Amino acid sequence: MHEEYELLLNLTPEEMATQILAKRRLLADQISIIIPDLEDSVERLQQEYEEIFPRYREIDNQKERKNSEIISNFKTIREKLRNEKKSLEAAIRISKESDSAVAYWTKRVNEGMGELDSEHPDLLRFSKAVRSGEKSRAGIKKMQKNK
């Protein structure tokens, strides 16, 4: 693991941007495979939920709870459905974020790390400031905290 950190520390900003872009593209590819599987799972669980819900409601209304297997199955299906829906929402959000990230890092790889426009400031501005003798962002925060 220490070797991995050493490798990262020796990368140039351009090399790091290229690696970030490759990882984001891989993530985008994986997410596009995961989303349909999650959609199928949510649909299947939704059908199971709709099938068992009337029986659960009937037992719940009786307040006797005689058929604990139906209650147990209902709760299990409901929990799985919630989890799959959360996973699907997260995958869709990550997919959208990945598209933006891929576009951003593609622009950086192609056009550089410096200031490109108002939406793309110089990525090395803080590093350059420290090299010229200014305090780092962490140093500034520490000074403000100690006041």
Q: Is the pLDDT of residue 64 over 70?
A: no
Q: What's the confidence (pLDDT) of residue 67?
A: 64
- Say what the pTM is: 0.65
Rounded distance, CA 125 to CA 145, Å?
23
Question: Half-sphere exposure of 72 toward its Cβ, with a 13 Å CA cutoff?
Answer: 4
Tokens 């959609």: give the residue: 39
Rounded average pLDDT over 5-22: 84
Per-residue pLDDT reduced to its tens digit, 17-51: 898 899 999 999 999 999 999 999 999 999 999 99
* DSSP string for residues in the chain: -HHHHHHHHT--HHHHHHHHHHHHHHHHHHHHHHHHHHHHHHHHHHHHHHHHHHHHHHHHHHT----HHHHHHHHHHHHHHHHHHHHHHHHHHHHHHHHHHHHHHHHHHHH-SS--BTTB--TTHHHHHHHTTPPPHHHHHHHHHH-
Q: What's the confidence (pLDDT) of residue 65?
A: 60
Q: Which of 76, 96, 73 is nearest to 84 (CA)?
A: 76
Q: What's the confidence (pLDDT) of residue 42?
A: 97
122's tokens: 């110089």
Rounded distance, CA 128 to CA 147, Å?
26
Rounded distance, CA 31 to CA 26, Å?
9
Per-residue pLDDT reduced to its tens digit, 81-109: 999 999 999 999 999 898 888 888 888 88
Q: pLDDT band for 1, please (50, 70, 90 cuts).
A: low
95's tokens: 């997919």
Q: What's the confidence (pLDDT) of residue 2?
A: 73
Per-residue pLDDT reduced to its tens digit, 120-142: 778 788 777 778 888 888 888 88
